[in-house]
Structure formats: structure tokens, C-alpha cells
Amino acid sequence: MNVPIVWIMGGQGSGKSTLSQSIVDKYGYKHLDPSAMVDREINTNTEKGKEFSLKRNQGEEIPLTDIINLIEGELMGNRGGFKGFVVDGYPQNQSDAVILEETIGSPDLIIALQVNQDTAATRRSSIGSTVTSTISFYNKNAAPVLAKYSNKIMQIDGERDAQEIFNDIVPNMDTITKNRGNPITIQR
């Protein structure tokens, strides 16, 4: 694909979806939210949704390998009709990164939001949800991804106001949006 690809990483409650939506609003990118795709399948009671529901009820994570066909379907349904896309909440680990890169392409920018466990819990409870995994679990799984793509990573303090965070990423977003194919220099 010859459009910019942005991955938004972070633990639960780090602000990934909020930042993804800000990118969509300003740049017109397609928002790919694998978790929302899983929810949609469960809510519409598709065969895949029944499988996902069973896994969730057993306390299992839905692996990206089970979701990637949904992502491909979203992309094929919009072929040529978007300016870029932002993957919300993935990759969660190195194997996810490999799957995303092989399936949809290498990221132009990876934004890694860092928050502490208390902030994550407070944010999740404000929307009526609970934190099911710890920030340390996220950090452990994300470390290989952050190391592999260190020249494309913006590590952002996610404890701050959402608008401040968005303002931090705008220079890099402007660069990848206007200069597709040219390497970026991470600016903070």
C-alpha cells in the first residue's frame, strides 16, 4: 500500500483510541480498531463472533491471527479510498508486528503511549470498564517491537492532556502525510 501507516501502541487506558480518532479527524485516515472489529463480530453474532465470544468468556485474548482477515476486509473495502490508516492498539507484541507488516505493510510512524497503572485504571473506570492487564505486561510485550522499530517510534507521556499529546505528534504526522516515502526524523 502506498499510503502512510501509523501504529498506536499502549497499555489499556493509555489513550490510544482518543489519539487515533484525533488523527482520523485531522488527516482523514482510516481508523482500524481490531478490538472494535471483534466486538462488532460478537454483537452481530457471526460465526467468527461466536468463536471470539467463547475465547473472551474463557478469559483469553483474541490473537491478531484470528482478526487479520477482518482488517484485510476493511482495507479491501476501501481500496484506494483513504489517505492513510491508523492501527489502534496493535501490535501488542513482536509476532503481531510481523503479521501487520507482512499483511498491510511497514509502519511509517509508531506512537507508543506510556501511562502508569493508576492512570490506566482511572481512565478505564471512567468509561465503565476495568483494566484486565497490567502496564508492566504491556511494557514487557512491547519492548521487542520498540527495539526493532526504534527509528520510527515516538514514545509519548500519555499522562498528559489528549490535546497536548496530539500537538506533539502533529509535526511527524504532517511529514508522513505530505512526504510519503521519505524517512521521518522523530520530532518531539
Residue 28 is part of a domain; what is its CATH number? 3.40.50.300
Report pTM.
Answer: 0.83
* 45 in any annotated domain: yes
E strand residue ranges, the chain: 5-10, 30-32, 85-88, 109-114, 153-157
Nearest to 18 by CA among 86, 78, 93: 86
Count Cα neighbours of 183 within 13 Å in the Cβ-side half-sphere: 5
Q: How does DSSP assign 36-53, residue by residue?
A: HHHHHHHHTT-HHHHHHH
* 141 found inside a domain: yes
- Residue 49 belongs to what domain range? 5-178
Number of domains forming the structure of the chain: 1
- 9, part of any domain: yes
| Predicted confidence pLDDT, tens digits, the chain (188 residues) | 578 999 999 988 889 999 999 999 999 999 999 989 999 999 999 999 999 999 988 888 888 999 999 988 887 766 666 788 899 988 989 999 999 999 888 999 999 998 876 665 565 556 666 555 666 677 788 889 989 999 999 999 988 999 999 999 999 999 998 876 444 555 54
In a domain, 102, yes or no: yes
